[in-house]
Amino acid sequence: MTNVGVGQSSDMMENLEISENANVANSDLEDEEEEHNDDFTVTLKQPIDLDDLCNEKGCSFEVELDEEGYSEEQNNYFNPDDVYRNLDDSCLQADDTDETSYDYLISKSTDLSDGQGLVFKQVLKQGSGTVVPPSAYVTFHYNAYMEMSDEPFDSTYMRNRSERKRLGTGGLLPGLELGLATMKKGEEARFIVRPEMAYGKLGAPPRVMPNTTILFKVTLCNYVDYSQAEDFDNIPETERGKVSFDQLLVAVNANREAASELMKEKRTFEAKKRYKKAVRLLENCRLQNEEEEKRQKAVLLKLYTNLCIASNQLGEFKQAITFSRLALGYDPGNTKALYALGKAKLNLGDFVEARTVLVRAQHLQPGNADIVNLLRKLDQQQKAIELDEKELYRRMMGRNSASQPAKSFSTTPTESSTFQEMKAKLVKFRDDGETTKLLIPVSSFRDSQLEMLKEIAATLSLKVSQSDVGSEKHLRISK
């Protein structure tokens, strides 16, 4: 099936957008109907000449559409329960008046199109801060309706995913872009957009009828202005040394705010790149005095803290440790950095260091639920591994008979220490991306310890074989 979206680009749920001036020769739309096995045919109002069609200029045409078929199919695109939750009766006939619903709403709205009557706005909930800057990236939710239908034909709410577009790039319907450019963060507004600024004379079959006025109910979730960061990127390398620290900090903060927004959208890899770019700008800048150095360190602390959080989310625990320590170099008592360091250590199996760091963080913030929960997780994992160690060691020592229950078994401090040391070395080998094999002299270990090594290697999915190096026998461990 084909979805109709507010964007002009192809990244919005495979939406189909058709502009008013669409024609056969310059259209680059993919054959969505064939891709989705959903045939849709129309009848032309007038025949077309194939010579004109093949001409470089192309030709325009009009189609006959069965308008009665639109509303019939409209409910098939979304879950009925979601549709019900997003009903809006303001699109229906106005009460106690001969006016249409749109005429009634327009009478309460402001014309945004310089008196041309193409786009009208009514604020439903006031936002805060400043109006969206030109060229900003906007994150928003919307429902789109046609007149006399209280069911949305398109909705980010029903897709459970906000829309993110950049203003000024042609990625949105003109009327909706005009409306978004007047909004503030958190604002909710209703826009009535005439076909000239929406889907044009042709509409977007089979969802939107030709020459249709659209009502958009929009919530502006957030916006990020990248322009200042991009302006700095356009400065030649040879000229960047002349940029003041304040100008540089504007570009740094633009990248940091952009990264924070990407983190909210779960686009962690892209966010990390933005954070690292901001770090590079700050680390390479020329400082004029102690005040600038103080401000630089304050921003670097935030960036390194965010980088260790992003690295943990990406499973890059070693990098998380590096960034955490850089952050703690600026502020040893930063609980976010301590928490991120403890989390990375836990995921790498370093329980002792993880506990040390997390207890330190808990001392600084006793009521922090995240720290408490991570310490609880640490306890659970450590107990589980200790039980596994006891069972594994018991099997190696031949003490797994039915006459000797598991609960009577306990390892000595020396045995436990040996096990931990062997396991730590094998885990390090497994995680080392450069080393492919490990040779261990057989003569260096007792038979029981060699069996222990083999058992540990098996639990880590490592291969073990015997190899002769000269006259000495070795255990060969490979990945």
Per-residue pLDDT, 77: 61
Per-residue pLDDT, 412: 45
384 vs 195, higher pLDDT:
195
Per-residue pLDDT, 337: 97
Mean pLDDT of 69-84: 57
Residue 62 has pLDDT above 80, yes or no: no
Exposed e or buried b per residue across 138-169, where buried means at least 16 C-beta atoms within 10 angstroms of its C-beta: bbbbbbbbbbebebbbbbbbbbeebbbbbbee
Residue 401 has pLDDT above 50, yes or no: no
Per-residue pLDDT, 42: 60
Concatenated DSSP letters of 321-334: HHHHHHHHHH-TT-
Per-residue pLDDT, 402: 42
Mean pLDDT of 89-115: 78
Per-residue pLDDT, 417: 61
Per-residue pLDDT, 71: 44
Which is it for the CA torsion 376, 378, 381, 383, positive or negative? negative
Residue 28 has pLDDT above 70, yes or no: no
Task: Determine which of 87-101, 221-235, 323-337, 365-379 has the lowest per-residue pLDDT on average.
Answer: 87-101
Residue 31 has pLDDT above 90, yes or no: no
* pTM assigned to the model: 0.54
112 vs 96, higher pLDDT:
112
Residue 148 has pLDDT above 70, yes or no: yes
Helix or strand or coil: residue 132? coil
Mean pLDDT of 63-78: 51
pLDDT digits (tens, 9 = 90+) for 432-470: 877 788 878 777 777 777 887 888 888 888 888 887 766
Per-residue pLDDT, 322: 96
Per-residue pLDDT, 353: 93
Supply the DSSP symbol for 89: G
Supply the DSSP symbol for 48: -
Residue 95 has pLDDT above 60, yes or no: no
Task: Identify whether the C-beta of residue 391 lies closer than 8 Å to the C-beta of residue 384.
Answer: no
pLDDT, mean over the chain = 79
Residue 168 has pLDDT above 70, yes or no: yes
High-pLDDT (> 90) share of the chain, %: 38
Long-range contacts of 92-96 (CB under 8 A, 24+ apart): 92/148, 92/150, 93/148
CB atoms within 10 A of CB 332: 11
Residue 219 has pLDDT above 60, yes or no: yes
Determine the Cα–Cα distance for residues 275 and 81; give it in Å rounded to an integer.
40
Mean pLDDT of 296-323: 96
pLDDT range class, residue 121, cuts 50, 70, 90: very high
Task: Determine which of 21-35, 40-54, 158-172, 373-387 has the lowest per-residue pLDDT on average.
Answer: 21-35
Residues 6+ apart with CB under 8 A from 247: 232
Per-residue pLDDT, 45: 67
Per-residue pLDDT, 394: 60
High-pLDDT (> 70) share of the chain, %: 74
Mean pLDDT of 81-95: 67
Per-residue pLDDT, 96: 59
The torsion defined by the Cα of 169, 172, 173 and 178, in degrees rounded to 10, comes to -70
Mean pLDDT of 171-176: 94
Supply the DSSP symbol for 93: P
Mean pLDDT of 238-254: 86
